């Protein structure tokens, strides 16, 4: 081979390599990204209740009718964070934040709620105030973020926007907490926490029915100066075969209708939502979606209209693409379902009803495969499912 031919061949090879690299670039924030590489299945203490299945359930095989709604954006993928649940908060300047729990790093990761840009992270793994160990569920009430820490067996409250730790509670009562819901009440804050305590050395055996009466704890928080104190107000959980929650995580309530919806994640007995009374914590003998959920019931959200109408959103955690069921707020009748183009394996969700220039009718956030947050314009969802406009 001549020297000239060698030079030409090397130049062609370099051009081919450059073209391959250009085609493999990572999608930019603000676009619906291609599916990220799947996260390796955790083992032992890192395993979640939704990670024990021998065969991953797939929406593509379920045959369930649904609309496909394109994500407004997907945050940059960060598998090392092992993200779990989002909640939103609006700063005094009007900026929307998505505050997201990161189970692996023990942090809260903050994204811009209108663009998906990562803004900061706070906390870190540990047991001291301000640190977290396996943070899971999160809720925002006023200027307070409440975070469940599974492996510290507690709930920690952070003031916003400075993320100062202002309360630690539940460590004396909670064994393996996961989810929570909160609302302003009686001059303070009411918090309901799910507790997924299990049996066996691997903590994967569901307790007998008569041991499930402590699946949920209700606390009342009261402000004392800059700090908050918590009082345990109630421990509850149905112990009948019909009403018990065998695998507990997601919880959400509708005070206007005295309704508490609890996700039953146990596939063996039938994954679904169960209706309890919010005021008394008693099972009402009614299940939602028993014939609809095929994978595993996960995050729950509520669009609450001023006239008492609205829509519940319940997550079915398929591994290829998550399915979001929509139910009528008053009747709990199923009115439709949607999936994103990318969003899969969803844990927590959050619905922010506040309209702004980016999302005039509000925005629905859903975790994507433990590594990103997806945003859906509520206007797109409403049009796709022909839902009525909500008076706020």
Q: Is 121 helix (H, G, I), strand (E, B) or coil?
A: strand
- pTM (2 d.p.): 0.88
What the chain holds in terms of domains, given with CATH numbers, is 56-385 (2.120.10.30)
Residue owning tokens 């973020």: 145
Residue owning tokens 């290829």: 320
Q: What is the pLDDT of residue 3?
A: 44
Integer Cα distance of 381 and 390 in angstroms: 12
Whether residue 41 has pLDDT greater than 60: no
pLDDT level of residue 81 (50, 70, 90 thresholds):
very high
pLDDT in tens, 2-14: 444 443 344 444 4
Whether residue 29 has pLDDT greater than 50: no
**Residue 192 near residue 180 (C-beta atoms within 8 A):** yes
Distances (CA, A) of 60 to 52, 242, 267: 20, 30, 19
pLDDT in tens, 343-356: 999 999 999 999 99
Q: Which residues of 198-234 are buried (b: 16+ CB within 10 A; e: fewer)?
A: eeeeeeeebbeeeebebbbbbbbbeeeeeebebeeee
Q: What is the pLDDT of residue 55?
A: 75
Integer Cα distance of 60 and 58 in angstroms: 5
pLDDT greater at residue 287 or residue 32 = 287
Whether residue 139 has pLDDT greater than 80: yes
What are the two backbone dihedrals, phi and then psi, of residue 116, each rounded to the nearest 5 degrees?
90, 0
């Amino acid at each position: 081979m001549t020297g000239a031919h060698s030079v030409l061949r090397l130049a062609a090879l370099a051009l081919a390599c450059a073209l391959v690299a250009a085609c493999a670039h990572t999608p930019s924030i603000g676009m619906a990204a291609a599916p990220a590489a799947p996260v390796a299945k955790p083992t032992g203490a890192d395993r979640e209740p939704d990670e024990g299945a021998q065969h991953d359930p797939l929406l593509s095989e379920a045959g369930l009718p649904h609309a496909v709604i394109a994500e407004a954006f997907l945050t940059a993928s960060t598998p090392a964070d092992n993200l779990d649940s989002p909640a939103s908060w609006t700063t005094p300047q009007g900026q929307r934040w998505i505050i997201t729990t990161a189970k692996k790093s023990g942090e809260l990761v903050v994204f811009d709620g209108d663009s998906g840009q990562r803004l900061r992270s706070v906390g870190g793994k540990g047991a001291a105030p301000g640190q977290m160990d396996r943070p899971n569920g999160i809720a925002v009430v006023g200027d307070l973020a409440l975070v469940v820490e599974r492996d510290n067996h507690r709930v920690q409250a952070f003031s916003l926007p400075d993320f100062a730790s202002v309360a630690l509670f539940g460590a004396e009562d909670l064994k393996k907490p996961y989810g929570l819901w909160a609302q302003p009440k009686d001059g303070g804050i009411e918090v309901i926490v799910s507790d997924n305590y299990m049996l066996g050395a691997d903590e994967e055996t569901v307790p007998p029915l008569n041991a499930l009466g402590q699946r949920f704890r209700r606390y009342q928080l009261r402000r004392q100066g800059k700090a908050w104190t918590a009082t345990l107000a109630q421990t509850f959980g149905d112990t009948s075969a019909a009403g018990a929650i065998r695998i507990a995580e997601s919880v959400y309530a509708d005070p206007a209708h005295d309704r508490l919806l609890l996700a039953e994640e146990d596939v063996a007995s039938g994954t679904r939502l169960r209706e309890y009374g919010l005021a008394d914590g008693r099972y009402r003998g009614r299940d939602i979606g028993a014939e609809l959920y095929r994978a595993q019931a996960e995050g729950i959200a509520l669009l609450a209209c001023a006239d008492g109408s609205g829509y519940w959103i319940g997550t079915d955690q398929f591994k290829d693409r998550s399915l979001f069921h929509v139910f009528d707020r008053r009747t709990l009748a199923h009115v439709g379902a949607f999936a994103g183009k990318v969003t899969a394996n969803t844990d927590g969700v959050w619905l922010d009803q506040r309209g702004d220039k980016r999302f005039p009718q509000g925005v629905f956030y859903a975790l994507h495969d433990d590594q990103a947050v997806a945003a859906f314009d509520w206007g797109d969802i409403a049009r796709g499912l022909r839902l009525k406009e909500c008076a706020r």
